[in-house]
């Protein structure tokens, strides 16, 4: 373990799902580096090119306390996995100095069970992006061979640890699991398989089905990834999710970045 972490940005952030943001914003900390190497990464300068600055563990604890003083509704740790040991120390330090906000572990679901176990009692909300329903695609686009088995076990362990998502009276998330899934262009089958896996883990998992894919970074080397997700593709996946009964989450109107709670009873919630 080192005695420092690398951070690309921190501050109040309004781009997460409504229950993670409220009126005051999430207290987001973007960590440098990632344990996946996604060819379409929107933050590739941070995740794969080292953009960021070193901070000591004490400085990280101070950042958390500063975000709390500024009114953030949580501490939102983005891409935390490779810094798990250092972050754990910083959370403990900040909590000893009075930090009471929910802590969010905002990752890509490619986690070891040891990391999740080590966060027991410290992390309140797990926010994994469950990216793939197929190991071959995970290898092709993100460079790892065992995504599925690892991510499934990790999401199961997260659910066991914190339960389903709970909101307070102001509709702010205070505890539990929320899973993201980003629909990739020309890969609806991958989304179907990923959603099947989530349903197998637990029927009541709250899923945010995201449409915001954009072709950046090395996506140009993969012909099928060279465009945005078409509205029809997204809607096909959305309706598949409903058919599976995963109907307690959020959606993104195709082509938009805003996340909303659809009226799942309507034939076409985007109409």
Q: Is 84 in the site for ligand SF4 (CB under 6 A)?
A: no
The alpha carbon of residue 120 and the mean position of all alpha carbons in its chain are separated, in whole angstroms, by: 18
Among 28, 32, 47, 74, binds ligand SF4 (CB under 6 A): 47
Helix (H, G, I), strand (E, B) or coil at 208: strand
Contacts within 8 Å (CB) and 24+ apart, 161-167: 161/116, 161/119, 161/120, 161/123, 161/126, 162/123, 162/124, 162/125, 162/126, 164/202, 164/204, 164/205, 164/206, 165/19, 165/125, 165/206, 167/19
Q: Which stretch binds ligand SF4 (CB under 6 A): 11-19, 38-46, 89-97, 165-173?
A: 38-46
Nearest-approach distance from CB 127 to ligand SF4, in angstroms: 12
Name which of 94 and 123 has its Cβ closer to ligand SF4. Answer: 123
Of residues 28 and 108, the one with the C-beta less far from ligand SF4: 108
Torsion of CA 234, 240, 242, 245, to 10 degrees: -140
The yes or no reply on residue 137 touching ligand SF4 (CB under 6 A) is no
The binding track of 236-255 with respect to ligand SF4, each residue x by CB under 6 A or -, is --------------------
Paired residues of 31 in beta bridges:
7
Please state the φ and ψ torsions of residue 77, each to the nearest 5 degrees.
-90, 110
Comparing CB distances to ligand SF4, the nearer of 81 and 99 is: 81
Under rule CB under 6 A, residue 212 binds ligand SF4: no
Where does residue 196 fall: left (phi above 0), alpha (psi -120 to 50 degrees), or beta otherwise?
Answer: alpha
79 part of the interface to ligand SF4, by CB under 6 A: yes
Does the protein bind ligand SF4 through residue 74 (CB under 6 A)? no
Token pair for residue 162?
């914190």
Site size with ligand SF4, rule: CB under 6 A: 10
Task: Find the part of the chain contacting ligand SF4 (CB under 6 A) among 9-17, 37-45, 66-74, 117-125.
Answer: 37-45
Residues forming the site for ligand SF4 (CB under 6 A): 34, 36-38, 41, 43, 47, 79, 108, 142
């Amino acid at each position: 373990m080192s005695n420092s972490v690398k951070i690309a940005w921190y501050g109040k952030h309004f781009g997460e799902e409504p229950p993670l943001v409220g009126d005051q914003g999430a207290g987001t900390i973007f960590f440098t580096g990632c344990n996946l190497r996604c060819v379409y990464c929107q933050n590739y300068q941070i995740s794969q090119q080292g953009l960021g600055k070193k901070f000591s563990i004490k400085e990280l604890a101070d950042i958390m306390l500063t975000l709390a003083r500024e009114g953030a509704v949580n501490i939102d740790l983005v891409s935390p996995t490779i810094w798990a040991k250092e972050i754990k120390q910083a959370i403990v330090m900040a909590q000893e100095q009075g930090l009471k906000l929910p802590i969010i572990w905002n990752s890509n679901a490619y986690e070891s069970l040891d990391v999740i176990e080590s966060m027991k009692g410290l992390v309140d909300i797990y926010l994994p992006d469950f990216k793939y329903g197929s190991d071959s695609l995970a290898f092709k686009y993100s460079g790892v061979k065992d995504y599925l088995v690892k991510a499934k076990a990790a999401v199961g362990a997260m659910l066991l640890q914190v339960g389903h998502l709970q909101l307070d009276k102001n509709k702010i998330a205070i505890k539990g699991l929320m899973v993201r899934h980003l629909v990739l262009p020309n890969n609806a089958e991958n989304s179907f398989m990923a959603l099947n896996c989530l349903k197998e883990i637990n029927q009541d998992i709250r899923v945010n089905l995201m449409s915001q894919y954009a072709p950046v970074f090395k996506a140009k080397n993969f012909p099928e990834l060279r465009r945005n997700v078409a509205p029809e593709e997204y809607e096909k996946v959305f309706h598949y999710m409903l058919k599976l009964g995963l109907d307690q989450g959020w959606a993104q109107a195709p082509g938009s970045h805003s996340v909303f709670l659809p009226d799942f009873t309507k034939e076409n919630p985007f109409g």
